[in-house]
Structure 1
Amino acid sequence: MTRRRMLRLSLAIPAVALIFVFMILPITNMVEMSFRTLGTTGPFGDDYTMAHYGRILTDGYYWAILLRSLMTAGAVTVLCLIVSYPIAWHLSRATGLKAVLLYALIASPLMTGVLVRNFGWMIVTALNGPLNESLIALGIIDMPLRLLFTQTLVILALVHVFVPFMVLPINNALRNIPPALTEAAASMGATRAQTFRNVILPLSFPGIYPGMILVYVLSVAAFVTPALLGGQMVSYMPTLIVAELTGTYRWPLGSALAITLSASTLLIVAIFTALTWKLMERARA
């Protein structure tokens, strides 16, 4: 083994160690914990069982919460894509001070603490909050709307914070599209709509794909926003998992719920990847 190769391996050791200690070991421990029996004097027992997964798969209560979590994440991802693409389009064509200001505005939701951001949503959407008072003053509604502790508010709040994770990769993909391609399409008689549909949109998919995956995974795993803005009225898998782990101290059931959520998310990501594989290959070509 050459000295140069040994140096490369030695530089990789810290990264591999971090992945092993903070990713592989916790996941392995969680999988093992999900098969433990419930303890009588502690969070878990000494024996192993498949009962937790059987309970999750046969109980409609868990199915409903799982589907709500996955569908909410899907809605957040689609809305983020709809909102982010026009922003990314303008950002990809901005230069100088305009580009700097746009980047700052896009990143602004990430510069506010998650608790502050969610408490802001709670104040704005309260029954006597500024949103309801403004709608009543304008004569749009007669009585205050119950916006807090609803699934709609959870979706809007998640879109608010996850838009930057969609804008930036799409912006990068749009910047990598050669202007000569759009000019060639225009010279051949293609309209702007045709150019966008047949040239720009397919070539920007390498930015759309990671943005959608990242937003979906982050939305599925979001805890603070659903817990604060959904409350007890709207339950999601992350809040249920935390309740099982820290509330009732049923670690095996909480671990089984976490593994079920992770497996469901990976399955959806795999299906999405398989369905869009040809589009990705076309964009790379």
Structure 2
Amino acid sequence: METQAAPAVREGALEEASRRRRPETLLMLVPAFLLLFFFFVVPYGYMIYVSFMTHAAARTFVRTFTLHNYVEVIWDPYHWQVIWRTFGAAAVVTIVSLLLAYPVAYHLARSRGQRQGLLLLAILSPLLVGVVIRSYGWMILLYNTGLINTMLRQLGIIDKPLPLIYNMFGVGVGLLHIYMPFMILTITGTLQTIDPDLELVARSLGAGPAATFFKVIWPLSLPGVFAGTILVFVQAVSAFAIPILLGGFRVITAPILVVQTVIESFNWPLASAMALVLFLLSVAVLGIYGKIMTRLMRGIAA
């Protein structure tokens, strides 16, 4: 009887201890909740409020409710052109980043010792430099008189400079260079959890390198691919400094248009409506993408 009662006593003691710790646990979460509330909920709530106000020339806005700002954003073809350009560029950067990052992540996950450390240092080192500094570095390389065009002209490959900057190509190169490390690190973390012996088993059963990758490695790495693509896409959609520096105001993206509306037109309500529409579209795209990837991963697991 005593041996049977002992586990029950221990379980009761553990439940009692967990009840006592709940207030302490909730108390530890208070700073995080306050930070989230004041720096995310309050700004977004104020932005929503301002988006329904009326623009006034002499003031930031007049406290008069209106839907005109959303009507202008939704029915103006120029706004949709900018939005599609932003999402299209972010999608292309995300896909190219995945294609380039996956081999690097696989090599990093399978490397060991000093080789892995050096490779990881090479991937992380660009993150130690600010976005603006790295963008200026790409400007030096991509200018008409920059290093790339100068070398190509001296080698006789081209007669006139290639248009490498102040266009979508230059913006894409900058976004790719700055955000690809996040893709690499995210996929690497997932690949490191995959047992290398699974590849050996697949090979021993007659599967070739391609079959081993697409039937074993790729399905198991989908969680990392999912997280990495979301990270890169969200940052590319909201990028501001890179399109300005490498696009030279010739490539207008949604964040740039929002800032221009505030600074040049001083139209805070319209800018707030544009920002909220961009946010809701981003959430919708990520939601659809998340459902597709979730079904895909469930199908593979089944």
Could you say whether these structures have the same fold, taking a TM-score greater than 0.5 normalized by the shorter chain as the test?
yes
Aligned counterpart for 2:40 among listed residues 6, 13, 23: 23
Answering whether residue 106 of structure 2 is matched by residue 105 of structure 1, we say: no
2:109 corresponds, among 92, 103, 121, to 92
Pick from 247, 250, 254: which aligns with 1:233?
Answer: 250
Distance in 2 between residues matched to 1:194 and 1:151, nearest whole Å? 36
Alignment of 1:185-196 (within 5 A): 185-196=202-213
Distance 2:262 2:106 in 1: 43
Partner of 1:47, secondary structure, is coil
Residue in 1 that maps onto 2:261: 244
Tell me the secondary structure at the aligned position of residue 211 of structure 1: helix
Distance in 1 between the 2:210 and 2:26 partners? 51
Give the drift of 1:247: 3.0
Paired residue type of 2:57: T
Q: Decide which of 197, 204, 207 is 1:180's aligned counterpart.
A: 197
Q: Distance in 2 between matches of 1:247 and 1:102?
A: 45
Instruction: Determine if contact 1:34/1:253 at 8 Å carries over to the other structure.
Output: yes
CA distance in 1, matches of 2:97, 2:124: 14
Matched, 1:6 2:23: yes
Q: Look up the match of 1:200.
A: 217
Distance in 1 of aligned mates of 2:31 and 2:106? 39
Q: Which residue of 2 aligns with 1:69?
A: 86
Structure 2 residue aligned with 1:139: 156
Tell me the residue number matched to 1:270: 287
The 2-side partners of 1:231 and 1:202 are apart by 41
**TM score, norm. by length of structure 1:** 0.96
Query: CA-to-partner distance for each residue in 1:142-187, whole Å, 9 max, x for gaps?
Result: 1112222100110011000111110011111111112232222112
1:119 to 131, 136, 142: 136
- Cα offset for 1:106? 0.6
Matched to 2:65, the amino acid is Y
Structure 1 residues 35-54: aligned runs within 5 Å: 35-54=52-71
Task: Give the conservation status (yes or no) of the 8 Å contact 1:205–1:283.
Answer: no
Give TM-score, length-normalised by structure 2: 0.91
CA distance in 2, matches of 1:244, 1:181: 55
2:275 to 258, 262, 278: 258
> For the Cα contact (< 8 Å) 1:149–1:233, is it kept in 2?
yes
Question: Which residue identity lines up with residue 66 of structure 1 in the other structure?
Answer: I
- Give the counterpart of 1:148 among 161, 165, 169: 165
Q: Separation in 2 of the partners of 1:283 and 1:135? A: 48
Q: Give the distance between the partners of 1:147 and 1:25, measured in 2 at CA.
A: 41
Distance 2:287 2:245 in 1: 31
Gaps of 5+ in 2: 1-17
Q: 1:95 to 1:283 in 2, by over 3 A?
A: farther
Residue pair 1:72, 1:155 contacting (<8 A) in 2 also = yes
Is the 1:31–1:256 Cα contact (8 Å) retained in structure 2? yes
Listed one character per residue, the Cα deviations across residues 87-110 of structure 1 (whole Å, up to 9, x for unaligned) are: 001100111111111111111221
Structure 1 stretches of 4+ moved >3 Å? 282-285
Q: Indicate conservation of the 8 Å contact 1:91/1:102, yes or no.
A: yes
Q: CA deviation at 1:200?
A: 0.3
CA deviation after TM superposition for structure 1 residue 283, in Å: 5.5
Query: Which residue of 34, 45, 49 maps to 2:51?
Result: 34
Question: Which one-letter code corresponds to 2:198 in the other structure?
Answer: L
The one-letter amino acid paired with 2:244 is A
Give the letter for the 1:56 counterpart.
V
Matched, 1:209 2:226: yes
**RMSD of aligned alpha carbons:** 1.4
Distance 1:104 1:98 in 2: 10
Give 5+ residue unaligned stretches, structure 1. Answer: none
For the residues of structure 2 that align with 1:146 and 1:211, how far apart are their CA atoms?
30
Please identify the structure whose Cα radius of gyration is greater: 2
Deviation at 1:80, TM superposition (A): 0.6
How many Å separate the matches in 1 of 2:53 and 2:179?
Answer: 36
